[in-house]
Structure 1
Amino acid sequence: MDIPAELSTGERIRALRESRGMSRAVLAGMCTRGPDWLKKIESGERELRSHGLLLKLASALGVSDLSVITGNGAEVAMPVPTGRLNHPGLPGIWDAVMVRPLVLAQPTGTLPDPAQLQGRVDQSWRLWHTSAHNRTEVCALLPDLIRGAEAAVRVLDGDERRAAQVALSDVYRLTGQATAYIAPAELAWVVADRALAAAQEADHPPAIAAAAWNMGNILRETSYPEEALRVVTDAADLIRPHLDTAPEDWRGIYGALQLHAAVTHARDGSEGDAWRLWEKGNQVAKSLPPSYVHPSTVFGRANVDFHQVSVHTDLKKAQKALGLADEMDPEIMPSVERKARLWVEVARGHLQRGDRTAALMVMEIACTTGVETVRFTPSARSVAADLWRKAPRALRPQAAVLAEKVGVSAAG
């Protein structure tokens, strides 16, 4: 249908819904929301910020180009995934997660070694943080890791089984990271829940806290910020009594939980709470050795500084965010993935100031640093789409190349 250019996102959703004869309750239900939520979106009373929910609405409405809903014009197409598995690595992961054997054959020969299993998981986490093509490479490893960890938990007993449960929880957390923004919602929820359940079965507080951090990511990205804050707060409460005597990684995950909550508050515009919790994470980092890095969340000094930039950006304090970024050395960031995301945050800051030339230059650095991180991060795709539409005329060919790298295709 032809939609007038002046319509808002909410008005476009309503027009598309009514043209298809769908009730508000039906469309809202397809997005796991209630009709009152959709009514507020359509009326403009509530802003729709979640990329995931936009994709759900587009899919439910049969729209293949997200810009039809957002009203970003016909210059850039933002494809809506039409299939359940929209990444080459996802079918194998889907089978490993969703098609578990109900009965395992009795083990023959040597039983699985939980230490070796954990070593493989730790190596995969390192790959996630060091490869520019981390999604593709880690997704290729995950099906065997998932099946191996599931089998180990089923055949081991006692302390060995608890150790295998910790490894299984780590595998599912890594699965959640590697499939973020590319997995269907049902896979994301199953993976997050299994990570938390395995950690609780192991009765291992830092594993429970790490799984809660992962669950918090899923909740926040699917527009459940209050629930995200609740789960990370509960996890922090679990760790807090042990902080004085805890190993470094216990304190590391505690610090990561504080930063998670800080960003969640910042995205909701709660500036005081955001900085209060960021400072808690900052104090944890100061209590750890300067070179400390948490193995999966990469919490440490550099990551705390990175989150300071993110909080300023989410609070629309672009000048402060860019000033802090100017003082940072990105090379000290211990994760390629986080380094690429830092450059995306800097590009967002430049866009907030209206400097698209600088944003374009920074996005090119982000792509060089970690192209898959950029390609599969909604905020980065939004920056690339904005640059394609609004870059200075002389830079439009360069912006078109960026859009192609990020997977935002031009439509003429």
Structure 2
Amino acid sequence: MTHTDDIPPNLPLGKRVQVLRESRGMSRPVLAGLCARGPDWLKKIESGQRELRSHTLLLRLAAALQVSDLSVITGGASEVAQPVPLGRLSHPAMPAIWAAVMGRSLTAGTATAPIDVGALQGEVDQTWRLWHTSRRQRTEVGDLLPDLITRAEGAARTLDGPDRRRALVALSDVYRLTGQATAYVAPAELAWVVADRALTAAQQADAPEAIAAAAWNMGNILRETAYPEEALRVVTEAADLIRPHLDNSPDDWRGIYGALQLHAAVTVARDGRDGDAWRYWDSGDQVAKSLPASYVHPSTVFGRANVDFHGVSVATDLRKSGQALARADEIDPDAMPSRERRSRLWVEVARGHLQRGDRTAALHVMNIAHKISSETVAYTPSARGVAAELWHKAPRAFRAEAARLAESVGVAGP
């Protein structure tokens, strides 16, 4: 392995990345995947055909290459000395959740008390509402999940007939919520187990709406672990599955169909596919128009506001910052009942401001995002990346404020 001191000081950034990658025996697709990008993107970086200006992507590259100092990649001393966080994010709720997921019994056993599946589903629905309304949703929901997982598993094992089918739907919902609450903090193996169990339970229940919802969740895991093509395939197949049922279906069936369209829009936008991104977004928009104006899907929060929020995300991912900010100007954030989703909207707006070089505005809206949901900002990579970039490059007058934000998010280092 090449020692970092052996890299010539005048070597361009792209070549430095290539040297580090090859010295670690990593293929280009592997390193690109760890950065949630494709191998062509990395090839252009390494060959110097494309500049790498995003501080977020620099951090991802450094972490993937196990480089603890950004200057090893950039080739020069940073204005602010910033260590690269190499470890996985952690959360106090994870050990108990891990134990509940991995400790699943293999035998049916017997219920010690009658199981009311309706009450169980009601608890799951209430916990989803907590996820969307709490400022500290990971902590509060995480405390409830181990017991919910255990009881939902027990219901699915011990009941039969229609009650078992309903229990399987509840179990799928629990695992979808577990995937949300442990995103970015769960080990990869747990993320995959949870996503697979959500989908398997829904398929065993033979419930198209639950299958589509679980596929939406699986798509999130695939996209965030650098499998965008597979993510797109899963959500489009799920949309094809549920589409024939939409004409005479409940609103929530159309709601999850719309959520799948928005998922596809963001997935292809991150790949720079402008036309496809807006085509999927338009499909979601049409679904929202077919639903009551006040409709909100209980778990994905699909509805009029979420379609508008995704318009900002799509434009930002396509690096159309002017369009993203113009769309954001037309949105009433309070129309979105999900605190977690409102916080992420402001993170997207901050990304748009950073793309235009307006760090003062980005810092202002990041503070809004943090006030709405501190845990959304602290545990979402895009938000952490924005906070790190602001701490690294904030205007002199706002460095203290940027440092406070970075410290509260956990990206400032010692």
Report the TM-score, using the length of structure 2 for normalisation: 0.88
1:76–1:388 Cα contact (<8 Å) kept: no
Change (3 A) 1:191 1:5: farther
Q: Deviations over 1:240-299 (max 9, x none)?
A: 111111100000000000111111111111111111111111110011000000000000
Q: Deviations over 1:169-216 (max 9, x none)?
A: 000100110111111111111111110000000000000000000011
Which of 47, 65, 86 is matched with 1:80 structurally?
86
Query: 2:313 corresponds to which letter in structure 1?
Result: S
- Structure 1: 4+ residue segments shifted above 2 A: 1-19, 22-29, 36-49, 51-59, 61-78, 101-108
Q: Distance in 1 between matches of 2:184 and 2:70?
A: 15
CA shift for structure 1 position 408: 0.6
2:106 alignment counterpart: 102
2:237 is aligned to 234
Give 1:224 deviation, angstroms: 1.1
Aligned to 2:272: 269
SS of 1:24 mapped into structure 2: coil
Say which SS state the counterpart of residue 299 (structure 2) adopts. Answer: coil
Structure 1 residue 89 corresponds to structure 2 residue 93: yes
CA distance in 1, matches of 2:264, 2:20: 36
Matched, 1:58 2:58: no
Q: Which shows bigger deviation, 70-79 or 395-404?
A: 70-79
Change (3 A) 1:153 1:47: farther
Q: Does 1:325 find its partner at 2:328?
A: yes
Aligned to 2:25: 23
Q: Which residue of 2 aligns with 1:170?
A: 173
Please tell me whether the aligned partners of residues 367 and 374 of structure 1 are also in contact (alpha carbons under 8 angstroms): yes
Does structure 1 residue 309 correspond to structure 2 residue 316?
no
The answer (yes or no) to whether the contact 2:21–2:27 under 8 Å persists in 1 is no
Q: Give the SS at the match of 1:291.
A: coil
Alignment-derived partner of residue 141 in structure 1: 144
Amino acid in the other structure paired with 2:103: V
The correspondence for 2:198, drawn from 195, 200, 223, is: 195
Cα displacement (A) at 1:8: 6.2
| Whole-Å separation in 2 of the counterparts to 1:306 and 1:8 | 38
Structure 1 residue 79 displacement after superposition: 1.4
Question: 142, 154, 157: which is aligned to 2:157?
Answer: 154
Q: Which moved more, 1:246-255 or 1:37-46?
A: 37-46
Tell me the alpha carbon deviations over residues 22-72 of structure 1, each in whole angstroms, 9 at most, x when there is no partner.
43369949x899xx95994884589999x899769836x554567866779
Residue in 2 that maps onto 1:130 = 133
Give me the whole-angstrom Cα distance separating, in 1, the residues matched to 2:131 and 2:70.
29
Deviations 1:285-339 (A, max 9, x none): 0110000000000000000000111111111111111111112111111100000
Give the direction of change, closer, same or farther, for the CA distance of 1:42–1:395 in structure 2 (3 Å limit): closer
- C-alpha separation between the residues in 1 aligned to 2:217 and 2:383? 21
Q: For 2:349 and 2:388, locate their aligned partners in 1 and report how far apart those are by CA, in whole Å.
A: 16
Q: Is the 8 A contact 1:173 1:191 kept in 2?
A: yes
CA distance in 2, matches of 1:46, 1:154: 54
1:112 and 2:132 matched: no
Find the counterpart in structure 2 of residue 334 from structure 1.
Answer: 337
How many aligned positions are there?
A: 403
Distance between the aligned counterparts of 1:5 and 1:384, measured in 2? 29
TM-score (norm 1): 0.89
Is the Cα–Cα contact under 8 Å of residues 58 and 69 in structure 1 kept in the other structure? no
Give 1:101 shift.
Answer: 2.3
Contact 1:58–1:66, Cα closer than 8 Å, also in 2? no
Residue ranges of structure 2 left out of the alignment (5+ in a row): none
* Contact 1:252-1:294 at 8 Å conserved across structures: yes
Q: Gaps spanning 5+ residues in structure 1: where?
A: none
Cα distance in 1 between the residues matched to 2:199 and 2:184:
20
Whether contact under 8 Å (2:62, 2:69) holds in the other structure is no
Name the CA distance, whole Å, in 1 between partners of 2:67 and 2:291: 49
**CA–CA distance in structure 2, aligned partners of residues 141 and 68 of structure 1:** 43
Q: 1:150 to 1:66 in 2, by over 3 A?
A: farther
Measured in 2, the distance between the counterparts of 1:324 and 1:32 equals: 31
Q: Taking every aligned residue pair, what percent have the same amino acid on both sides?
A: 67
Contact 1:55/1:80 (<8 A) preserved: no
